[in-house]
Amino acid sequence: MSVLGIDIGGSGIKGAIVDVETGKLLTPRERIPTPENAKPEDVAQVVKTMVEFFHYEGSIGAGFPAVIRNGIALTAANVHKSWIGLDANTLFSSATKCPVSVVNDADAAGIAEMRFGIGRDYPRGVVIFLTIGTGIGSAIFTDGHLVPNTEFGHLEMGGKDAEHRASDAARQEKEMSWKRWAKALNDYLNEIHSLFWPDLIVLGGGISRQAEKFLPFLDVPVKVLPAKLENQAGIIGAALHAAEQGR
Ligand code: BGC
């Protein structure tokens, strides 16, 4: 079965058609910049453009950077505040005339990584998956089962949201060296470890491709590994989630 997976991020909206049995992309990945301010109507237009680009009809899965309960966005850290309380399933379904199932972006990426990436080697225990990009997203799995909508990027560190100190956006904005940024990430991972005592922490998002630049600086009493699916995880996971919802 193939499903269009869309990963809505703070800077780009990425999509591809996914074979949900194998987790492989059946098309190249298409990327459209996220409209400025990421307002609902503008984002819905891009999702529609993406569907037209692929000449796609059928079930769609979309990862979105907010808490999503039953398709409704309940937070809006890096997108327009008017998303809060909005039924994203209905908004995207009416824009595309296809059934769309929305899920938190980090949950989506984590689902894919557990099914087709690193999770294959770690099916048991507590795994914390973190996506590090514009913000920090999180997904926690116990024996492969997801607890949805965790928001560990908003843990407070030194009076600030952790994602304002340790995200990739923070690294770039403050022009931090990898070593300096790794120190912030290290503090954050140690905080996560002291609260959840996971068996494994997986780091995903764009930075997973540059792991050799910062992993050597980390000192955390738990195994920390880069994600395997790189920038495809969000797309694949959104498609898997939609397939599981039967939408
Ligand atoms: C949002 C999360 C999201 C993460 C990564 C955070 O700011 O609150 O819901 O998963 O960014 O995009």
Q: How confident is the model at residue 206 (pLDDT cuts 50, 70, 90)?
A: confident
**Residue nearest atom 12 of ligand 1, based on CA coordinates:** 65
Q: Mean pLDDT, the chain, as a whole number? A: 96
**Residue nearest atom 6 of ligand 1, based on CA coordinates:** 135
**Residue nearest atom 11 of ligand 1, based on CA coordinates:** 135
- Ligand 1 centre from 194 Cα, in Å? 21
Distance CA 51, CA 202 (A): 31
What is the average pLDDT across 165-179?
A: 96
Query: Residue 170: what pLDDT?
Result: 96
- Ligand 1 centre from 23 Cα, in Å? 23
- Ligand 1 centre from 13 Cα, in Å? 14
What is the average pLDDT across 183-198?
A: 98
Please answer whether residues 206 and 133 qualify as being in contact, where contact means their C-beta atoms are separated by less than 8 angstroms. yes
Q: What is the pLDDT of residues 123-167, one digit of tens each?
A: 999 999 999 999 999 999 999 999 999 999 999 998 999 999 999
Q: Which atom of ligand 1 is nearest to the CA of 131?
A: 5
Domain residue ranges in the chain = 2-104, 118-228
Q: Which fold has domain 2-104?
A: Nucleotidyltransferase; domain 5 (3.30.420)
Is residue 244's pLDDT more than 80?
yes
* % of the chain surpassing 70 pLDDT: 100
What is the average pLDDT across 29-33?
A: 98
Query: Residue 214: what pLDDT?
Result: 97
- Ligand 1 centre from 75 Cα, in Å? 9
**Considering only CA atoms, which of 116, 169, 163 is closest in space to residue 138?**
163
Q: What is the pLDDT of residues 61-102, one digit of tens each?
A: 999 999 999 999 999 999 999 999 999 999 999 999 999 999
Is residue 247's pLDDT more than 70?
no
**Residue nearest atom 9 of ligand 1, based on CA coordinates:** 66
DSSP one-letter code for 117: S
On the 0-12 / 13-18 / 19+ scale of CB atoms within 10 A, 172 is exposed
Q: Which DSSP string do the residues of 121-190 spell out, in sequence order?
A: T--SSEEEEEEESSSEEEEEEETTEEETT--GGG-EETTEEHHHHHSHHHHHHTT--HHHHHHHHHHHHH
What is the average pLDDT across 179-199?
A: 97
- Ligand 1 centre from 247 Cα, in Å? 24
Global pTM? 0.97
- Ligand 1 centre from 109 Cα, in Å? 12
**Residue nearest atom 5 of ligand 1, based on CA coordinates:** 137
- Ligand 1 centre from 25 Cα, in Å? 24
Q: What is the pLDDT of residues 59-72, one digit of tens each?
A: 999 999 999 999 99
Q: According to the CATH classification, is domain 118-228 in 2.60.40.1260?
A: no
Q: Ligand 1: which residues within 6 Å by Cβ? A: 65-67, 75, 77-78, 104-106, 131, 135, 137, 151, 153, 163
Distance CA 117, CA 127 (A): 13
Query: Do 2-104 and 118-228 share a fold?
Result: yes
CA angle 169, 175, 178 (to 5 degrees): 85
